[in-house]
């Protein structure tokens, strides 16, 4: 490998913002925040919006934010012509 062009690879703690779930993994991501892990060592903390703990594919819980589709919204807004 060419020296000086690759970021440092180190262990980092990722925390799911929605559930608080944390896991330790290797990464090149950097952060000014740190957290003490279960092993007593301090690692950089990276906050993520979604992880396997909160993603519907892994949890089996689907969230529907919008009940009706684009066609229903159009018909509701402009109405149907029943001539």
Kindly give the confidence (pLDDT) of every residue in the chain, 83 residues in length, as a single tens digit, with 9 standing for 90 and above: 788 899 999 999 999 988 889 999 999 999 999 999 999 999 999 998 888 787 766 666 665 545 566 777 777 788 765 54
Whole-structure pTM over 0.75, yes or no? no
Residue listed under structure tokens 């909160």? 54
- Give the other-Cβ count within 10 Å of 13's Cβ: 23
Pairing assessment for the beta strands 42-48 and 10-16 based on DSSP bridges: parallel
| Non-local CB neighbours of 33 within 8 Å, separated by 6+ positions | 44, 45, 47
């Amino acid at each position: 490998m060419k020296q000086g062009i690759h970021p440092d690879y180190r262990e980092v703690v990722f925390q799911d913002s929605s559930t608080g779930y944390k896991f330790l993994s290797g990464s090149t991501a950097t952060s000014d925040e740190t957290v003490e892990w279960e092993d007593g060592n301090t690692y950089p903390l990276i906050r993520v919006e979604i992880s396997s703990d909160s993603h519907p594919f892994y949890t089996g819980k689907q969230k529907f934010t919008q009940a009706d589709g684009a066609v229903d919204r159009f018909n509701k807004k402009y109405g149907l012509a029943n001539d």
